[in-house]
Structure 1
Amino acid sequence: MEGLQGWKKELPLMALNTKQDLNQWAIGCDKDIGGFSEASLELTPQGKGRFFGNISLELPANREIVQSGYAAIRSKEREATMWGTPCWDTSLYRYLALRVRGDNRKYFVNIQTDTYFQTDLFQHRLFLRTPGQWETVMIPFRDFVFTSNGMIMPDQVEMFREKIKTVGVSLTDREEGPFSIEIDWIKAMNSEDTEGDNDRTPSSSEID
């Protein structure tokens, strides 16, 4: 079945295959506010992005900082035009898909939509079935949880999937030590049986 706008399998969002690709990402960790964790993003010899570093739970002398031990990357917002900041419309797709090779650490996937507060994120665990091997992880958009400043909000709101501004990955397990995750690409995707939030019925020509 073709939808009103035509069924599409995927919408590429971000790739991490060239140095130019990596320039479209921002890196952050608690070192930015005086902590001791370190995080970097590099291009591997195989042409994949590698987000890696070392997590430290040591607190700086600044007593206003009561928690450390985090690291994250996110895609940079695209340059604004007279019509506003360009966003991705993922409403015709059911999943956010990531091609990754991770370790045994725990990660979150983060989505920022066109909301008033920069701290508002939709988050979901990046469950890796085969650490150390490449795998494609597909997360239904509807399964993301609305958070602000890292806290799950009591009043959950639906993701504004027509206006996604950034996507990213963050480290969630506050354990000291090294981490490393390689990322090939991030896309909005359908399976052969889905068209956004609707189940797709094959047309007669497909059945034949």
Structure 2
Amino acid sequence: MFSFLKRTASVAADSTAKALRMDGLQGWRQELPMLSLKTKEDLAGWALGCDKDIGGFSSASLDLDPSQNVARFHGELSTDLPANPEIQQSGYAAIRSKARASSMFGTPCWDTSLFRYLSLRVRGDDRKYFVNIQTDGVIQTDLYQHRLFLRTPGEWETVMIPFRDFILTNNGMIQEQQIEMFREKVKTVGISLMDKKNGPFSIEIEKISAMNTEFTEGDMDRLP
């Protein structure tokens, strides 16, 4: 209870400070830093899972590359089915940021509404990864997904994905009724792999941000 009240007081103080700074009137910003994956403390804010959790045979790890101080999500995917006859499909691995601790004001979220892109600084292989966004909506199993297209596997690159291009899914299924993402309340961000391909995988992640270019302001175009 004490920690809950302490978080509530912290959120209230932060909101007051933002009001005094008139953050809402600051106008255009190029970047909203969301997640950094450079220290062990950063990695403690992430959850890891794979089909091994339900009896499958994949393995997955999220650890720090000491030579570069960036996170590495890696392991080996196996599509072999476990003994449980109720499980019809296997072969997946995923990481996601943990939802931040709630207070009387709810769960802290990122307001990405004034930014056009989700930006990821990554270095990966030729596997087919997906980016997953969870918002603070009513249906907690809803995820907005987009393919993480890597143009230069094996080299560092910045991938920019328009928020409007994410597709609403639930339990891995694309929903017929597509609802616009609640971008004012982005709760978690994650990366998953389920390309039905056996073998090793590896992707390094440095940071994740909401971004504008010099020509964009959210979904509006800025004049040069």
When normalised by structure 1's length, the TM-score is 0.94
How far residue 58 of structure 1 moved from its aligned partner, in angstroms, is 1.1
2:145 aligns with 123
| 1:28 paired to 2:31 | no
Q: Distance in 2 between matches of 1:5 and 1:117?
A: 33
Which of residues 191, 200, 213 is equivalent to 1:178? 200
Rounded to whole Å, the distance in 1 between the matches of 2:192 and 2:43 is: 16
Q: What is the identity, as a one-letter code, of the residue corresponding to 2:62?
A: L
Match of 1:206 in 2: none
Distance 1:83 1:29 in 2: 33
Q: How does 1:77-116 map to 2 (within 5 A)?
A: 77-116=99-138
Residue equivalent to 2:159: 137
Match of 1:152 in 2: 174
| Identical counterparts, % of pairs | 72
- Tell me the TM-score normalized by structure 2: 0.87
Structure 2 distance, partners of 1:134, 1:188, is: 18
Segments of structure 1 that go 5 or more residues without pairing to the other structure are 203-208
Which runs of 5 or more residues in structure 2 are unaligned?
Answer: 1-23
Q: CA RMSD in A?
A: 1.0
Q: Does 1:194 align with 2:219?
A: no
Offset at residue 201 of structure 1 (A): 1.8
Matched, 1:7 2:25: no
SS at match of 1:20: helix
Q: Distance in 1 between matches of 2:160 and 2:216?
A: 13
| 3-state SS, counterpart of residue 132 of structure 2 | strand
| 1:119 CA displacement | 1.4
**Distance in 2 between the 1:160 and 1:141 partners?**
10
1:44 corresponds in structure 2 to 65
Local SS of the residue matching 1:83: coil
* Offset of residue 4 of structure 1: 5.2
Q: Give deviations 1:59-118, integer Å, cap 9, x for gaps.
A: 111111111000000000000001110110000100000000000100000000011222
Shift of 1:198: 0.5
Q: What SS does the corresponding residue of 1:32 show, helix, strand or coil?
A: helix
Match of 1:58 among 77, 80, 87: 80
Query: What secondary structure does 1:156 align onto?
Result: coil
